Amino acid sequence: MSNISKVSKFIKALLLFIITLQVSVYIVLFLFATTQGESGEIWFHYLGLSSGMLMNFNGSWADIAQALVKENFNPSLILGIPATIPYFLIYYFLYKLFSLYQQGIIFTVKNSQYIKNIAAVLIAWVVFKLIYPIAVTVVLSFSDMSESLPLILSIGSEELVFLLTGLIIYVIAWVMNEAIVLQQEQELII
């Protein structure tokens, strides 16, 4: 049990480091960077320091990213920021899960709920990736900021992987929850 606690503490620290690094890079890049090129590449140069980020819009968002560039919009801001939301939700649920593991709470309904929440984020992300480009097009068209953005509904292999992964994680959490219920029933019988 002590090893689980140590590993969980390390993973929590690693998650906090990743979140802090990711948020600080995004803040600096989105506030002070200049966008270069059509690939979603953003660079920040200051006192000899350079930092860059490449938001790759392949797959189902590639067409909307290209259409936004043609209309002189920044796809990194419009598509990139929402693309980070699922990661932060998953980080949050992982942090909560490993906090329970660190306390020695391994098989509980709360643990399985955090695992189900991670699965729900992955499944919701697939739906979001389908709907968001349409919403962007509609909002920009109705606000008279764009007249020629096409309505794009596209699903790629990335979405199918997220969907399958989310479903598998959900089933694992469901089986774990059923095992917890069986264990609790056995404890009542004895």
pLDDT tens per residue, range 10-53: 999 999 999 998 888 777 766 766 655 555 566 666 667 666 66
Of 127, 159, 134, give the one whose Cα is nearest residue 67: 134
Q: Let me know: does 64 contact 70? Beta carbons within 8 Å.
A: no
Q: How many CA atoms lie within 13 A of 32 on its CB side?
A: 11
* CB-CB contact of 90 with 124 (8 Å): no
Cα dihedral angle (29, 87, 153, 127), rounded to 10 degrees?
Answer: -150
Q: What is the pLDDT of residues 65-98, one digit of tens each?
A: 778 878 878 777 788 778 889 999 999 999 999 9
Residues 62/157, Cβ–Cβ less than 8 Å: no
